[in-house]
Amino acid sequence: MKIKSVIVDDEIIAREVLRNYLTKYCPQVEIAGEAENIREAVPLIAEKQPQLVFLDVEMPFGNAFDVLEATKEFSYETIFITAFSQYSLQALNKSASYYILKPIDIQELILAVNKAAESIESKEELNRNKILLENLKLKPEKQQLILPTLQGFDVVKTEDILRLQADGNFTQVYLTDGSKKMVCRFLKHFDDLLESPFVRVHRSHIINTRFVKSYHKSGTVMLSDDTEIEVSGSFKDNFLKVFS
């Protein structure tokens, strides 16, 4: 199956490199057009109605998120092309978006294209672009988080997460309603992703400090569901700073 695609990047050399990589390593991608900024990208997407857009995050006259906002009536998968930006990566990871860091690594490109192709072929109903746009308008504690599970995915509000616990190659996410989700990510993924009021208190535990009921100087914290979590010495100072 051919995947109708467009490339949006303000650097002509970057577009050439990506086009050449796609032609050589991702033959399922059919490039229907290219744009160098938001002014060109919006009408191009409206005209071609692609299944997949390769979208540079930072461009003149607006960024990738402006493109998404201006084309939100259209349904397409997005692979973001970005230089390292912690803010951008946090936003993209929360919405489970596909992205590639510059300079482009061929294996990462192939992996991202294959994942996007799976979503397109399966007619997956998860709208990552919509969730990403909604998250950008909200404070971190109000944002949504897409959790990839063995069965598919779950979308939860970060404010509904009580705690997270490492479980081998997975993470158990405990919610305030008493349920839990087994997520196909290491705990470090969430440690890098989640901001205050979340804090890591142990190599195996991240907690939402909004639900701390008590702390004992012996090194344990009690949460609102009466779960007792050890606060290890290496994380103790960061934990106590939240309440200082």
Per-residue pLDDT of the chain (244 residues; tens, 9 = 90+): 899 999 999 999 999 999 999 999 999 999 999 999 999 999 999 999 999 999 999 888 889 999 999 999 999 999 999 887 776 788 899 998 999 999 999 999 999 999 999 999 988 888 999 999 999 999 888 899 999 998 889 999 999 999 999 999 999 999 999 999 999 999 999 999 999 999 999 999 999 999 999 999 889 999 999 999 999 999 999 999 999 8
What are the tens digits of pLDDT across the range 12-46?
A: 999 999 999 999 999 999 999 999 999 999 999 99
Please give the pLDDT value at position 123.
86
**Closest alpha carbon to 79 in 46, 54, 51:** 54
pLDDT recorded at residue 117: 96
Q: What is the pLDDT of residue 27?
A: 97
pLDDT of residue 175: 98
Calpha distance 180→51 (Å, rounded):
34
Cα dist from 200 to 113, 139, 166, 213, whole Å? 33, 20, 11, 16
**How much is the pLDDT for 60?**
82
| 128-136 vs 86-94: helix crossing angle, rounded to 10 | 130
- In tens, the pLDDT along 223-234 reads 999 999 999 999
Going by C-alpha positions, the residue among 216, 157, 123, 28 that lies closest to residue 239 is 216
The answer to whether residues 182 and 172 touch, using CB atoms and an 8 Å cutoff, is: yes
Q: Which two tokens stand for residue 196?
A: 């205050």
Query: Which residues are registered as beta bridge partners of 56?
Result: 81
Instruction: Count H helices and E strands in the chain, helices first.
Output: 8, 15
What size, in residues, is the chain? 244
User: What pLDDT is attached to residue 244?
Assistant: 83
Residue carrying structure tokens 């294996």 = 107
Q: What is the pLDDT of residue 59?
A: 87
pLDDT of residue 232: 95
